[in-house]
Amino acid sequence: MTRRNLIWLIVALAVLAAAALGWRGLRARQAAQQTQAASATAPVIELRALDVAPVELRDLTISLPISGSLRAVRSAFVKARVPGELIGLTVREGDRVQAGQVIARVESTEYDERMRQAQRQAEAAQAQVAIAQRQYDNNRALVDEGFISRTALDASAASLDAARATARAAQAGTEVARKSVNDTVLKAPISGQIAQRLAQPGERVAPDARIVEIVDLSQLELEATLSPADSVAVRVGQSASLSIEGASAPVPATVARINPSAQAGSRGVTVYLTVQPEPGLRQGLFAQGTLAVGQQRALAVPLSSVRTDKPAPYVQLVEGTGDAARVVHRAVTPGERAVIDGETWVAVTGLAAGSRVLRGAAGALREGTRVRLDGKAAG
């Protein structure tokens, strides 16, 4: 290759390099212009004060979820004590009864006759005591005068003791028969309402057969089972708020007792809460609520602000002010929850106090979305 051709080749290469650099610069300027145009035309999301919540220190009441059924503290089954035909049962479910009121009877003819028989036997035994007493008195007088031996007196004394023992046994039999007669009358052990009628008039019942159940609704309690880990923080006197079927407002309750033994198998611990009596509450109603077991002061956000549509929980932060306000996603670690002024808040780590997060009502926004805050939200 000649010297002239080499020079021309070098010049051509330089021209091509310059052209390539110019083309690259033109493309970069075009891309920047497009990005700027897109940014200028990107939609701006208007946010109201209700869409934004501050990250701030809150006093959170640590609570445990509880549930269970209501039951009356005082309840009782009226049971038959003697077998026989049931008569006089007129009360039905819902009827009110007073302690000592006669609920029903067991047909008592047989037991009345047995008591009369026992009384006659007791009278006969008492007559034998009188005969033995007279014989003993006579023999003692004869011994004093020397007409009979001391052995005869001892024999009459033994006969008297035996007669007295027989009389006492007969009297005891009379008392047993009298108790059987009394047991034919079935009375209410407590005041309350009939919850169940488990037998019908004319039915022959056996001993310990349940006739009716009585419940006293003036004292109700919730029986809730907690896990071993949750039960550690529970103490007598702690308060709870319950939602009960049919109740229009939350019902307050207080921990009254804690079972000292865990249930076999589940290892659950039963907690008993005294429920504030209110009209309409009934035994067996299902209740659920929260039991306050402590306090914690921590940075918190509304629970709706914590999103879970990514592998890790995160919140949508508003960073910047004015036209520079943008949405930024920030991972957080949720902690304890509490209801404050009717809204559930959750303690979080990974945020700074004073930050602004979007509530759940604002929806999911892509990171970098431009937002504009109204006056109240910006404040």
Strand order across the beta sheet in which 52-54 lies = 52-54, 356-358, 314-319, 326-331
Structure tokens at 357: 């997060």
How much is the mean pLDDT over the chain?
85
100 dihedral zone (left: phi>0; alpha: psi -120 to 50; beta): left
Alpha-carbon span 270 to 258, nearest angstrom: 6
pLDDT tens, position by position, 70-92: 999 999 999 999 999 999 999 99
At 27 the pLDDT is 67
- Which pLDDT band, with edges at 50, 70 and 90, does 322 fall under? confident
> Which backbone phi and psi does 67 adopt, to 5 degrees?
-160, 160
- Which pLDDT band, with edges at 50, 70 and 90, does 377 fall under? very low
Is this model's pTM higher than 0.85 or not? no
For 46, the 3-state DSSP assignment is: strand
The whole-number average pLDDT for the span 252-267 is 90
At 372 the pLDDT is 82
Exposure of 242 by Cβ count < 10 A (0-12 exposed, 13-18 middle, 19+ buried)? Answer: buried
Pairing verdict, β 371-373 and 45-47: parallel
The whole-number average pLDDT for the span 127-152 is 82
Contact criterion met (CB below 8 Å) for 290 and 54: no
Contact criterion met (CB below 8 Å) for 358 and 61: no
Alpha carbons within 13 angstroms on the beta-carbon side of residue 353 total 6
Contact criterion met (CB below 8 Å) for 379 and 354: no
pLDDT at 38 over 60: no
The whole-number average pLDDT for the span 212-234 is 91
Pairing verdict, β 192-197 and 210-226: antiparallel
At 104 the pLDDT is 95
Pairing verdict, β 185-187 and 204-205: unpaired
Beta carbons within 10 angstroms of residue 151's beta carbon: 9
At 16 the pLDDT is 66
The whole-number average pLDDT for the span 291-307 is 88
pLDDT tens, position by position, 174-195: 999 999 999 999 999 999 999 9
Share of the chain above pLDDT 90, in %: 41
Structure tokens at 53: 């919540």
The whole-number average pLDDT for the span 241-260 is 88
User: If residue 44 lies in a helix (H) or strand (E), which one and from where to where?
Assistant: none
Provide CB contacts within 8 A for 107, sequence distance 6+: 84, 85, 86, 87, 184
The whole-number average pLDDT for the span 119-146 is 86
At 335 the pLDDT is 85
pLDDT tens, position by position, 356-373: 899 888 888 888 888 887
At 341 the pLDDT is 79
